[in-house]
Structure 1
Amino acid sequence: MPIPVRRTRFMTWRSLATAAVAALMAAFLVPVAAHGAPRESAPVYSYENAIRESVWVDTGLDGDSDGRSDRVAVDIVRPRELARQGRKVPVIMDASPYYSCCGRGNESQVKTYDANGHVVQMPLFYDNYFVPRGYAFVGVDLAGTNRSDGCVDVGGRSDIQSAKAVVDWLNGRARGYTTRTGAATARAGWTNGRTGMIGKSWDGTIANGVAATGVKGLRTVVPISAISSWYDYYFAKGAPLYDSGPDWLSGYVDSPDAQAKCAAVQRKLVDGAPRTGDWTSLWTERDYVKDAAKVKASVFLVHGMQDLNVRTKNFGQWWDALAKHGVERKIWLSQTGHVDPFDFRRAAWVDTLHRWFDHELLGYDNGIDHEPMADIERHPDQWTTSAVWPPRTTRATILRPGAGALPGVGTLGLRGASGTETFTDDPKLSETDWAANVDRPTPDKAGFTTGPLTHDLRISGSSRVTVTATPTTSTAHLSAVLVDLGPDTIRDYAGSGEGIATLADRTCWGASTAGDSSCYQVTEAARTDVDYTVLSRGWADLGDYASDHGVPLTPGTAYTITLDLAATDHVVPKGHRLALIVAGTDKDLIDPPSSTPTLALDLARTSARVPLVGGADAFSRAIAGSTAAPAAAVLDGVRDPRSALRVPGENPLIP
């Protein structure tokens, strides 16, 4: 539970020590038969007097080509009482490039240090909350950032090895040193090696990448708004999503040392990520989805369904790959953009994360593994659950467009029609412009809608839209969006807070010191009233129709391409309509092509593969007069996780 800031008190070492002894006596002297095994770790250890130390771990790489193996800085906070007792503790770890350049969390916190170089402030609440509960918290500076050697390679070998080497060191398989350049070694004899990685955005991406190595000792990862394949951060089937590449991102977080030494790595990032959107070996190295079979850690995934920074294709394909290989998993999906759950569902998040780490790292049988797999935000601060995700009755259902009475205004159903619809790319317009005018014949899009639904219709998972189009120029970009047409109140994901508003009041989550407060500004849902909601979107360069290398188009020739739409979980309510819109450049979300094409859409060879709960039968019930088509196979994402990933014979640590 949160601690109101006005009630916060800094407990003395003596009072904390007394509380710790009392708790330990209670834990170990009361007969087990009376109370059974513990179900929750308690804050019985001193945060103020915790051990704070720094270690530099050898990565085995020389990314900056200075003739020395790169060492990454590892800042550690751990309970002093357990160290004195010789008892080993598990580790919660956040490996980040942002600890000095940009900060973490809603308040952009950075690491701070004392005169001896020991960490004083760790960003976020993880150390304040979990160290008193018997965990160590470890903050790793990725190679090339803050106090680490090496170069930032944006999700590549150096990034991942920066963190993996620390997991290896925690498990006695890598070398650590007490200084950045010295020879005095440091060993992690204080930990049992059981590690959980957590982090948002780039940090969570590193957690995904390390999990995909299958490194021993990594028990769980909690990726928040994280990337699963770096290509899908920068491109969508050849269509560029940003006007910059990984070289810019590397330069943004580089330490001064890295800026001086890493020109060669920067050049590789430029050369390996051509603006054509072609797949290269650089992207293969940064694709963690292909290695999902190696994942042994459990995964607690969190993502905003309106995240237009790390777009939700990243979590959808990762989730499906994890499901295919039976990885133990859990998921939260919010209505926000690129926002941490600490800032959209704070109390529930801290409680759930606490129980998740207790279960995965301490081995407590607290029942979290028997709770629903998914929590989904339906309306601001209104959440539902699913036993598995997507639900077991979800089926990929083919919806087809049909021509309407007006040009560019057609129908959407189970049975399609022949004919064509024509539109001209207009880079000044976006998906919201198209949705606002879906019932009007405008020259910039082709829209297809159902009639008003007679029952709710739930879309759960990843969609695909296959388009056959004939361009008038040698280049063309395509967008496809699914839209819920009807009034609603949603989180204002397009606003500056991406669905949250930050208030002046603070609540506290864990213990504080003079240099590291556990108190954070309160947030609330930022709401907006809408007439429609874009619920899923995807893009492509038509020149990538045949492969992952784009080619010039021949004007007047028809091409077929499939667009991968972002994963989501959305209920289109009774009385609303579902729309599919196909258009050109989606302003601010993809870059325009070099020409301004007009495209003729072949309706007979255009369709949407949509994951509907209940499949075609559910669509038929929701649309009066529809005839059900044969149901497709169950989606990958609903496969059961394999049994708990525990090493036989190991006993859970009970601090």
Structure 2
Amino acid sequence: MPIPVSRMRFMTWRTLATAAVAALMAALLVPVAAHGAPRESAPVYSYENAIRESVWVDTGLDGDGDGRHDRVAVDIVRPRELARQGRKIPVIMDASPYYSCCGRGNESQKKTYDANGHVVQMPLFYDNYFVPRGYAFVGVDLAGTNRSDGCVDVGGRSDILSAKAVVDWLNGRAKGYTTRTGTATAGAGWTNGRTGMIGKSWDGTIANGVAATGVKGLKTIVPISAISSWYDYYFAKGAPLYDSGPDWLSGYVDSPDARAKCAAVQRKLVDEAPRTGDWTSLWTERDYVKDASKVRASVFLVHGMQDLNVRTKNFGQWWDALARNGVERKIWLSQTGHVDPFDFRRSAWVDTLHRWFDHELLGYDNGIDREPMADIERHPDQWATSAVWPPRTTGATTLRPGTGAQPGVGTLGLRRASGTETFTDDPGQSETDWAAHIDRPTADKAGFTTRPLTRDLRLSGSSKVTVTATPTTSTAHLSAVLVDLGPDTVRDYTGSGEGVNTLTDRTCWGASTVGDSSCYKVTEAARTDVEQTVLSRGWADLGNYASDRGVPLTPGKAYTITLDLAATDHVVPKGHRLALIVAGTDKDLIDPPTGTPTLTLDLARTSARVPLVGGADAFERATAGSAATPAASVLDGVRAPRTASQGRNTDPVPHLPLTPIYP
């Protein structure tokens, strides 16, 4: 439970120290057998007197080309009592590029140091909360940032291997030094090597990438709003999602030393990430999904379903790949944008994370592995669970558009239709504009809706929309969105807090020192009333119809392309309608093409493949008797987690549209 700040004022250091010593002595003197196996770690160790040290780990790389191996800075906080007893402990690790440039968390905390260069403040609550419970917390400066050598290569070898090297050092496979340039070595004999990585945004992306190397000793990762493939951060089938590339992001976080030495790396980030959206070897190196079969660690994934920074295709394809490979996994899906769960479900998050690390790193049988796999936010602060995600009854069901009584206002059902619909790209219109005008003919979109549902209809997973379109120009961009048409109260993910409001009161989560408080501003759900909700979206450059390299289009020729829509879990309530909209540029979410194309859709060759719980039968029932019920196939990626004996690692021990990934 959190400790209110007002109460903290009345708790003297003597009281805290006495309580900690008493609890520690009780833990040491009472035989474990008297109480059975432990189920929860307790805060019995002193945070104020914890060991704070810095180590520089040899990465084996020379990214900055200065003729010597790069060393990355590793700041450590760990219990002094356990060190004196010689007891080895597990590690919670956050490897980040943000520790000095931008800060972490809702309050943008940075690392601070004393006159001797030892860390005083570690951002976020992880060290305050978990060090008193017998964990070490390790904050790693990625190569090229803060006090580390090397260059920032935005998810490439340097990023991933600099963090992996720390896991190797914790497991006795890499060298560490007491200074950045000296020869005095530093070992990690205080740890059992069992490591859990955590982090939001770029930090969580690094956790994904390190797990995809299969490194031994990494037992679990907790990626929050994280990238699984950097191409899918910057592009959607050739359509640019941002007006900048990875070179901008590197320059945003790198240290002064890196800026002076890393011109060659910066040039590579420009030359091998063309704004055409063509796939290159740079993107192959930064695609962790292809290496999901190497993942040994369990995965507790968290993502906002309205995250328009790290868009949700990133979590969907990663989740499905992990599932196909039987990785033990858990997931939280919120209605927020790019927000940490500490700021949208704080008490439950700290409790769940505590239990997860206790189970995965300390081996406590606390039952978390037998609880529902998924927690899903249905309405602000209203959560549902799912035993398996997506549910086993989910079927990928083909929905087909048809013409309606008015041009651009069509139907959506199970029958194949004929006819065409035409729209003209208007970069000034967005998905919310299209949805608001779904029942009116407008030149900028083609919309298709079901009849009002007679029962709830749940979508769970990733969708695909296949479009056959004839353009009038040599370039054309496409957007496809799924919309819940009906009134609701949702989190205001388009607001400045992306679904949360930050208040002035604080609560405390763990122990504090003069230089590192565990007390953080309280947040609340930012709510808004809407008449429709965009629940999934995807984009493409029509020039990428045949491959991952775009080509000029021939005006007047029909092309077929499949758009990958973002993963979601959404219930369209009884009385609402489900809509598919196909249009051109989605304002603020993709860049427009060079011309102003008009596109004609061939409806007989256009369809949406949607993950419906209950499949086509559920759709037919919800739409009160639509004809033709094609067989639904089981959605890829649904299977039970594997056990340790089936391959788990058992050895001992980047919302604001057009804004690059931010903390």
Q: TM-score range by the shorter chain?
A: over 0.9
Q: Distance in 1 between matches of 2:23 and 2:637?
A: 42
1:391-423 Cα shifts (integer Å, max 9, x gaps): 110000000000001000000001121000000
Q: Is the 8 A contact 1:510 1:518 kept in 2?
A: yes
SS in 1 for 2:637: helix
Structure 2 CA distance for partners of 1:654 and 1:175, relative to 1, 3 Å: farther
Residue 631 (structure 1) shift: 2.7
Residue 627 (structure 1) shift: 2.7
1:44-91 Cα shifts (integer Å, max 9, x gaps): 000001000000000000000010100000000000000000001100
Residue 386 (structure 1) shift: 0.3
Q: Is the 8 A contact 1:381 1:525 kept in 2?
A: yes
Residue 634 (structure 1) shift: 1.6
SS in 1 for 2:300: strand
1:223-281 Cα shifts (integer Å, max 9, x gaps): 00000000000000000000000000000001000001000000000011000000000
Residue 620 (structure 1) shift: 0.6
Structure 2 CA distance for partners of 1:614 and 1:654, relative to 1, 3 Å: closer
SS in 2 for 1:186: coil
Which runs of no fewer than 5 residues in structure 1 stay unpaired? Answer: none
Residue 638 (structure 1) shift: 1.9
Match of 1:165 in 2: 165
Q: Distance in 2 between matches of 1:9 and 1:30?
A: 32
Match of 1:155 in 2: 155
Residue 10 (structure 1) shift: 8.6
Residue 633 (structure 1) shift: 2.4
Q: Is the 8 A contact 1:10 1:513 kept in 2?
A: no
SS in 2 for 1:319: helix
Residue 378 (structure 1) shift: 0.1
1:311-350 Cα shifts (integer Å, max 9, x gaps): 0000000000000000000000000000000000000000
TM-score relative to the length of structure 2: 0.96
Q: Is the 8 A contact 2:447 2:581 kept in 1?
A: yes
SS in 2 for 1:73: strand
Q: Distance in 1 between matches of 2:60 and 2:628?
A: 59
Residue 26 (structure 1) shift: 3.1
The question of 1:94 aligning with 2:94 is answered yes
Structure 2 CA distance for partners of 1:489 and 1:31, relative to 1, 3 Å: same
Residue 142 (structure 1) shift: 0.3
Q: Is the 8 A contact 2:403 2:409 kept in 1?
A: yes
Structure 2 CA distance for partners of 1:69 and 1:31, relative to 1, 3 Å: closer
Structure 2 CA distance for partners of 1:327 and 1:477, relative to 1, 3 Å: same
SS in 1 for 2:633: coil
Structure 2 CA distance for partners of 1:14 and 1:183, relative to 1, 3 Å: farther
The question of 1:138 aligning with 2:138 is answered yes
Q: Distance in 2 between matches of 1:14 and 1:385?
A: 43
Structure 2 CA distance for partners of 1:202 and 1:478, relative to 1, 3 Å: same
Q: Is the 8 A contact 2:202 2:661 kept in 1?
A: no
Residue 639 (structure 1) shift: 1.0
Residue 35 (structure 1) shift: 1.9
Q: Distance in 2 between matches of 1:501 and 1:508?
A: 18
Q: Is the 8 A contact 2:484 2:576 kept in 1?
A: yes
Q: Distance in 1 between matches of 2:484 and 2:405?
A: 21
Structure 2 CA distance for partners of 1:465 and 1:368, relative to 1, 3 Å: same
Q: Is the 8 A contact 2:120 2:515 kept in 1?
A: yes
SS in 2 for 1:532: strand
Q: Is the 8 A contact 1:617 1:628 kept in 2?
A: no
Residue 181 (structure 1) shift: 0.3
1:425-470 Cα shifts (integer Å, max 9, x gaps): 0001000000000100000000000000000000000000000000
Residue 162 (structure 1) shift: 1.1
Residue 635 (structure 1) shift: 1.7
Residue 629 (structure 1) shift: 2.1
SS in 2 for 1:184: coil
Q: Is the 8 A contact 2:70 2:150 kept in 1?
A: yes
Stretch deviating more after TM superposition (555-564 or 633-642): 633-642
Q: Distance in 1 between matches of 2:403 and 2:34?
A: 71
1:360-397 Cα shifts (integer Å, max 9, x gaps): 00000000000000000000000000000001100000
1:588-643 Cα shifts (integer Å, max 9, x gaps): 00000011100000000000000000000000110022135233322233211101
Q: Distance in 2 between matches of 1:15 and 1:130?
A: 20
Q: Is the 8 A contact 1:390 1:461 kept in 2?
A: yes
Q: Is the 8 A contact 1:289 1:318 kept in 2?
A: yes
Match of 1:68 in 2: 68
Q: Distance in 1 between matches of 2:137 and 2:12?
A: 21
Q: Is the 8 A contact 1:55 1:178 kept in 2?
A: yes
Q: Is the 8 A contact 2:170 2:188 kept in 1?
A: yes
Residue 20 (structure 1) shift: 4.0
The question of 1:422 aligning with 2:422 is answered yes
Q: Is the 8 A contact 2:211 2:221 kept in 1?
A: yes
Q: What is the alpha-carbon root mean square deviation over aligned residues?
A: 3.9
Q: Is the 8 A contact 2:344 2:500 kept in 1?
A: yes
1:461-517 Cα shifts (integer Å, max 9, x gaps): 000000000000000000000000000000000000000000000000000000000
Identity %: 90
Structure 2 CA distance for partners of 1:311 and 1:231, relative to 1, 3 Å: same
Residue 17 (structure 1) shift: 5.2
Q: Is the 8 A contact 1:421 1:602 kept in 2?
A: yes
Q: Distance in 2 between matches of 1:33 and 1:78?
A: 27
Which runs of no fewer than 5 residues in structure 2 stay unpaired? Answer: 645-652
Match of 1:250 in 2: 250
Structure 2 CA distance for partners of 1:272 and 1:163, relative to 1, 3 Å: same
Q: Is the 8 A contact 2:56 2:74 kept in 1?
A: yes
